Structure 1
Amino acid sequence: MTTILLTGIDPFNGETINPSWEAVRALDGETLGSARLVARQLPCVIGEVGGALVAAIEEIRPDVVLCLGQAGGRADVTIERVAINIVDARIPDNAGLQPVDEPVVAGGPAAYFSTLPIKALVAALHAAGIPASVSESAGTYNCNAIFYALSHHIATRRPGLRGGFIHVPFLPEQAVRHRNAPSMARETLIEAVRVMIATTLITTQDVKLGFGSEH
């Protein structure tokens, strides 16, 4: 049986929930087709999160890893294309630390591309009526640290593993505290994860569609 590791993140920056964890924990233990879904919560602690992710991968030995994170202010599900080897934290993490201009992995490459079929995922989400886009930047905070650590582990230790990072909007109960912030319903986020899993499992070659940035 195929195993899918789903990860979400602790609440941070004064929030009491994190939509990424709310979405994936709802699927923990489910079977989707021939795939077993396993969810793990990762810390919003930049210096620890990569090790926590690698430990989960080595424990579960998944075939695919979908890491999710909160992107307050974004209006859709955004599939990240590029992880970069830099931490430049705008705010302290949950350990009270704020690393600036430090590598995620010392001596690692400047960047990695996702090994998920990112454009096929966007197309499948659109077909399901869920707003989605390709994102060219996962930021320089905890989410990018997760994405880079995953990509580095794949490149150096698990070349057969497929994985990547997806940002999701606030939940409505968060957005009411942030003036004009967009949100997405919990049920829609959960369905989005199901769609992305199913699409990844049947897609070996990404599609060529013009979802790139104008800037």
Structure 2
Amino acid sequence: MTQTAAKTVVVTGFGPFGNFSRNPSSDIVDLLEKEGIEGLNLVLRKISVVYSEVGETVPALWQEHKPDLVVHIGAHPVERTVKLEQQAFAHGYCRYDVNGSVPLNNSTCCATDVPSLITTIDCARVAQQVSEKLKLADVKLEKSEDPGRYLCGFSYFLSLNQDVGKALFIHVPAFDEKCTLETVASIVREGPEIVL
């Protein structure tokens, strides 16, 4: 019997910014580094909330690791809600990063003239299946059409520009007594299993 090679999944989280002195996406990356995801070759990275760093790091991860899936994780302010982002935008990145910079022309500068890219991953289906499997009661998991025009959307567009069928962005909230690190990390773990 031949064994198939483990699929490679790149997972990124972000550093602190704004009201997030500790970014929950970094906490998830730390937990995945300790626990892994069974059957997957995980490549984990934390990226500063800096356009230039994201612009270099995301394409390099695709080039170096040739991943089967890239999952970007970022923080958002909606309590007890995890969002699977369906699309990202090419332009409109005018909010300053933690270094006080914006990208040239407020754009991703990808060699494309489309205003947005949409993942072929069915985020509504993934959200429903993960919710049912984990029997989520205190945390809402849903599809979203707007990752924003900050580093989250910026990184996601760069990955979608590499392969719209192999990129996913998960927006996570701050943790609390009902929306724990472990609960949100379990959602992140289940996503690749359903997608792959």
Q: Percent identity?
A: 26
Q: Which residue of 2 aligns with 1:5?
A: 10
Tell me the equivalent position of 1:120. 125
Matches within 5 A, 1:10-159: 10-28=15-33, 30=35, 32-90=37-95, 92-98=96-102, 102-105=106-109, 107-108=111-112, 109-127=114-132, 128=134, 129=136, 130-154=139-163
In structure 2, stretches of 5+ residues that fail to align are 1-5
Aligned to 1:192: 187
CA contact (8 A) 2:110 2:158 kept: no
CA contact (8 A) 2:74 2:152 kept: yes
Task: State the distance in 2 between where 1:74 and 1:140 align.
Answer: 20
Name stretches of at least 5 consecutive residues in structure 1 with no aligned partner: 156-160, 174-182, 202-215
Please report how far the alpha carbon of residue 29 of structure 1 lies from its aligned counterpart in structure 2 after TM superposition. Answer: 6.7
TM-score w.r.t. structure 1 length? Answer: 0.77
What is the rounded CA distance, in whole Å, between the counterparts of 1:101 and 1:47 in structure 2?
Answer: 13
CA distance in 1, matches of 2:53, 2:43: 21
The answer as to whether partners of 1:6 and 1:37 remain within 8 angstroms in 2 is yes
CA RMSD of aligned residues (A): 2.3
Please give the secondary structure, in 2, of the residue aligned with 1:4.
Answer: strand
- Distance in 2 (CA, whole Å) between partners of 1:170 and 1:100 is 31
Aligned equivalents of 2:121, 2:35: Cα separation in 1: 21
Contact 1:3-1:63 within 8 A present in 2 as well:
yes
Looking at structure 2, the residues matched to 34 and 47 of structure 1 have their Cα atoms a distance apart, in angstroms, of: 33
| Equivalent residues, number | 186
Runs of 4+ off more than 6 Å: none
Q: What is the CA distance between 1:44 and its match in structure 2?
A: 0.6
Q: Partners in 1 of 2:146 and 2:115 — Cα distance?
A: 13
Structure 1 pair 74/137, CA: closer, same or farther in 2 (3 Å)? farther
Q: What letter is aligned with 1:138?
A: P
Task: Return the TM-score normalized by structure 2.
Answer: 0.84
Displacement after TM superposition at 1:85 (Å): 0.6
